[in-house]
Amino acid sequence: RFTTDMKDAIDSSDIVFIAVGTPIRDDGSVDVQSVLNAASDIARHMKSYKTIVIKSTVPVGTGRQVKTVLQEVLSSRHVDIPFDVVSNPEFLREGSAVQDFLHPDRIVIGSESEHTLQIMKDVYRLNEVPFVEISIETAEMIKYASNAFLAMKITFMNELANVCENVGANVQQVAQAMGMDKRISPLFLNPGPGIGGSCFPKDVRTLAQTARVHGNPMQLMEAVIKANEWQKTKMVEKITHVLGRDLHGKTLAILGVTFKANTDDMREAPSLVILPELAKLGATLKVSDPQGQKEGSVRFKDIEKQLSWHNDIYEAIKHSDATIILTEWDQFKAIDFSQYESLNAKKVLFDLRNLYRKEKLEELGFIYHGVGV
């Protein structure tokens, strides 16, 4: 059942999950105050033993902080109520959260006792997947390490794609061959306009900041941060290299503004860098995104005079001087290119997600520019 009554929720539960936001500060550190506030609220209302489970992505050491807060609040109440704190990070992808929850690769449980470990196993008893049983600190680190590694892998492919363009190699074919190596795997080998979203960029910065604070700077993570921002700028250069730096009088069809398909999330999206830069150069932008208009209307407020929204992708393409694919929505994977002439649209395609084959588009008379092909 759903309730907005915290006291009632805590009274009627044995296990309490903390799943609140953990925004990042300018220096890369994470603001865990919402997590600590939640712990304080739990301690104010609990009357019997509780297992408190941290689902939020939090820096290493937060579990200990939560334990301290719980103890302090209980002491202020002059009660001695037992509890346990568990770190159980989530690995859900936006747009695939339900599927990922039902079919996880592993379930990470950071706990201090066999008792709480068994409680968590009972919670997930229907999931026939491996349990990773470790300390709270190790569980907290696993989430950051996993996301940072995937971000590094994508960033490597982005940089490799740029070199492939310089030397005449095809990054997709390179990635395919690389992925056949079991040590590498074919996942996360697709280059693009840069990493976005609420997890990868934030977690890379937090891991880098944590390393700096402890006197062990992670040069690789620092490089990933810089390379990812540079990749977004590189996409603007790719476009202006073909269309010129003066885009006054140019109309560009923008397909996709969310950081990935199947979500309305625009946090850290490449479009937040690319579209303002194109507008600054004078371009008129006709944008189509199945879920991005509501958030995009706010995010692109400063360039709204040069931007229009279109539910129909062909309305966005109509009279355009070039089409730019920024997000890999299914709708953008099945464009009817035969309509370009009737739409009076120029056959110039910047496929920044490599959704199409260069050879096929060139056969149709298009000037095609992908990433690394």
User: Where in the sequence numbering do the catalytic residues fall?
Assistant: 199
Nearest Cα residue to 285 out of 331, 327, 261, 320: 320
Structure tokens at 149: 């590694």
Contacts of 289 (CB under 8 A, 6+ apart): 255, 256, 257, 258, 296, 327, 329
- Exposure pattern of 262-288 as b/e (b: 16+ CB <10 Å)? bbbbbbbbbbbbbbbbbbebebbbbbb
Q: What span, in angstroms and rounded, lies between the C-alpha atoms of 149 and 135? A: 21
Give CA separation, 161 vs 41, 164, 200, in Å: 49, 5, 20
Task: Give how far Cα 300 sits from Cα of 178, 244, 262, 321, 327, Å.
Answer: 38, 23, 20, 21, 17
Angle at 256 between CA 275 and CA 274, to 5 degrees: 20
